[in-house]
Structure formats: C-alpha cells, structure tokens
Amino acid sequence: MTEFAHLQEQKVDSKEIFNGQIVQVYVDTIRLANGQQATREVVRHCPAVAVLAITDDDKVVLVRQFRYPVDKPLLEVPAGKMDGDESETPEGTAARELAEETPYTAAKIELIHNFYTAPGFCDEYMYLFRASGLQKNSDLQPDEDEFVDTVLYSREEVVSALKNREIEDVKTITALQHWLLERL
C-alpha cells in the first residue's frame, strides 16, 4: 500500500460519450477510498507541447489567435498537440509547432517543465520547452484552419500584459512566469 492509498479512486465502469479528433469524453463510475461509488466526467486528450521561444535580443515570441470556445483572440506561446504518429517526440512537436505558427526555427530546444493543463476533468499532459538560437527562416505554414499573428514582447511588455490581465491562457502564463523568474 502506498502512502496515498487513502486518496485513491478506482474505475469500476466507463462509458464513452464522444469520440472526436482531438478529445474523447467518458463518464466513469469510480470507487472512492471509503468504498462508496461516484461518477467522473473525463476528457481524454493527447499530449501537447508549448514553446517559450526567446529571440537573441531577449524578446518572447507569442502568437495571437482566435479561440472559438472563449469567443475571442488570445495571446499565447506557440503550442500544439502531438500528432498520432508514434515517431514524433515532444521535442520534435515543439520544433514543428514553432515553425508552423511563427516564422522562426530554433537551434536549441530544451524541456523546462511538464504539467497537466486541467486535471479536474482532463488528462492532457503538456511539455513546456524553451527554444533559443532562433532564426527567421521557417517555410512551414499554420494548419489549414489556423490563423495566427506573431507578436514579440519584451520582458517589460510581458509584465505589463500580465498585470493588465491581457494574457489569459494558463500555458502562456506558466511559460512567461518561468521566463521572468530566470532573472531572479
């Protein structure tokens, strides 16, 4: 028995509600640690990446794109899901997403953190990478249904945008906080 056995929940039954291209939705019956049963609505999502791309003159590369679920454009770090291709690594996905969503490629991509994006209802696991040695030489294009603007922000502009609540995306806030803390 582990030290966290008193927190453990076990799946008793699972019913698929929706099977889409990006997510699958289930209603699971679970057994709680006290033996009682409850239900959990669960969104299954493939792994994803986010890229904290920093130019040689210390500006962060952001993208602005319309997000239909929240009905407005958001300012975000480049990001995307890992394709179903088993050969694509998180690092490869990060390089691809940076090159697809911005005009940049990176000489170096390194993992700086990984996290769950919304563990209360979703199992999406995200890898956060730092990209450096940027070159403005990408010949890749965004996906057919993706329209993005590339925006460069200095540290001061990031601090102002965060203070003014202009950045509302959690992966971006996480990445930018990491970047800002590097100087402390």
Active-site residue, 124 included: no
DSSP 35-103: S-EEEEEEEEE--EEEEEEE-TTS-EEEEEEEEGGGTEEEEE--EEEPPS-TT--HHHHHHHHHHHHSS
List 106's β-bridge partners, or say none. 134
CA distance 146 to 105: 19
User: Which DSSP category does 132 fall into?
Assistant: E
| In contact, 134 and 105? CB cutoff 8 Å | yes
Cβ neighbour number for residue 171 with a 10 Å cutoff: 19
Q: Supply φ then ψ for residue 115, to 5 degrees.
A: -165, 160
- H or E element in which residue 110 lies: strand 105-116
* Per annotation, catalytic residue among 16, 144, 146, 156: 144
**Residues labelled catalytic:** 144
